Amino acid sequence: MTEYDFWKIFPRMPKKVTIGDITIRDGFQHEEKFISTAAKIFYLEELIFAGCRDIEVTNLGSAFLMPQFRDAEELFKHLRGDRFKKRCERKGVDYDDICLTAITIRESAVDRAVMLKEKGIGPDRLLMMVSTEEEHHFANSGTTLPDYWKEADRCIKKCNDAGMKMCGTVSTIWGSPIGVATDMKDAVEFSKRWLEIGAHDIEHADHDGSASAHDVYRYFSMILDEIPDPALHIAHFHETKRMASASVLAALQAGITNFEATLGGLGGQPANFLDDCPTRGTGDYYYEDPRYVGLVTLEDTLVQIDEMGIKHGYDVDRILWLGRQMEKTIGRRLRSEAVINGRTLKEGHMEFARPGLKERKIKLGEEPGQKIPGDWNSKAVLPEKYST
């Protein structure tokens, strides 16, 4: 007989996961209008109050290249301030459980994070990134892979000395928007390199939606065979082919417990235009159609995981409400389907019921809940030709 229990078929699949939110950083970095500091603070607070404990606050890189993040220090001042801490206390949120992350692709950004830490408003965790495909890495960082690894080694030492953690990201695992696809074994090796030089965890990133479910399952199985602790690994999926939810499921089946997402599926390359002015960003966009850019949506991912019975720590209805507010903030329809269609309600949607069923059953002499004719067998007898 077929085994029906998902957790017996996939024994590594978790019963509890962590989903970090990266809307305010990765989500907003691709928007071609400045998202106000007040809006950023609102969503940072509300995401935390709705259950998020791992949140990306900003990018500490050059505000000349990425003016969307010119308010980085203001955001950290707010999140480290007494007012926010008191709000957390009133909401029943343990402030010490919150991990605030800043992106620091280059050493100058790491130095800035150290300075903020010394001022008492710095992040808990930083993030640097390598791509297995060097053309993509060069477009993102402006330097070669060997040179960047040496820089990362220095930066991790600075980070640790300042009392912060470092996340090492590995990108272009399943494909690259620029160069030739690399072997997934390269990404496994790069993950081990990050841990060798002192990173605290690894983000495994599909930054352009190249991943397919079978390769996601294969890759994370390879990773967990080599580096078995699932707490060290974070799955990061972009959405270009409407396949990211399948990638999430495949990663779960392989045993991954940590994921990232954004409200509405926002995200992509740093914008090369902001408000009324061209800006550098990371150069030309990698795509032709802006409708197919961004991450897996937080709203839909939560609904998917929640309905599988996997614990996640979020107030799902509150997140769906925040998703609707985000569409107003951005000024367009975003990519979450759950924001429109909601959750699957086990009690149904009786407001759409056609009137008269009860009366019709009484008229026909049927019992409430009766689903087959009364003179039929209680169980169907399958013809022999279909049962072999």
Q: Which two tokens stand for residue 204?
A: 């495994």
Helix pair angle (184-196, 213-226), 10° resolution: 40
Report the pLDDT value the prediction gives residue 181, as an integer from 0 to 100.
85
Cα–Cα distance measured from residue 182 to residue 176, given in angstroms and rounded to the nearest whole number: 8
| Of the candidates 293, 286, 273, the residue with the CA atom closest to the CA atom of residue 335 | 293
* pLDDT value of residue 285: 86
CA dihedral (273, 279, 285, 291) in degrees, to 10, reads: -20
User: pLDDT 10s digit of each residue in the chain, 388 long?
Assistant: 889 999 999 999 999 999 999 999 999 999 999 999 999 999 999 999 999 999 999 999 999 999 999 999 999 999 999 999 999 999 999 999 999 999 999 999 999 999 999 999 999 999 999 999 999 999 889 999 999 999 999 999 999 999 999 999 999 999 998 888 899 999 999 999 999 999 999 999 998 889 999 999 999 999 999 999 999 999 999 988 888 999 999 999 999 999 999 999 999 889 999 999 999 888 888 877 777 789 999 999 999 999 999 999 999 999 999 999 999 999 999 999 999 988 887 888 888 899 999 999 999 999 999 999 999 999 999 998 898 7
Which pLDDT score is estimated for 162? Answer: 97
For every residue of 176-236, DSSP letters joined together read -SSSPPPPHHHHHHHHHHHHHTT-SEEEEEETTS---HHHHHHHHHHHHHHS--GGGEEEE
- The matching CATH number, chosen from 3.20.10.10, 3.10.620.30, 3.20.20.70, 3.90.190.20, for 6-341 is 3.20.20.70
What's the pLDDT at 291? 74
In degrees, rounded to 5, the angle at the alpha carbon of residue 266 between the alpha carbons of residues 322 and 231 is 85
Residue ranges of domains in the chain: 6-341, 350-386
Q: How far apart are CA 19 and CA 21, in angstroms?
A: 7
Is the overall model pTM greater than 0.85, yes or no? yes
AA identity, residue 87 = R
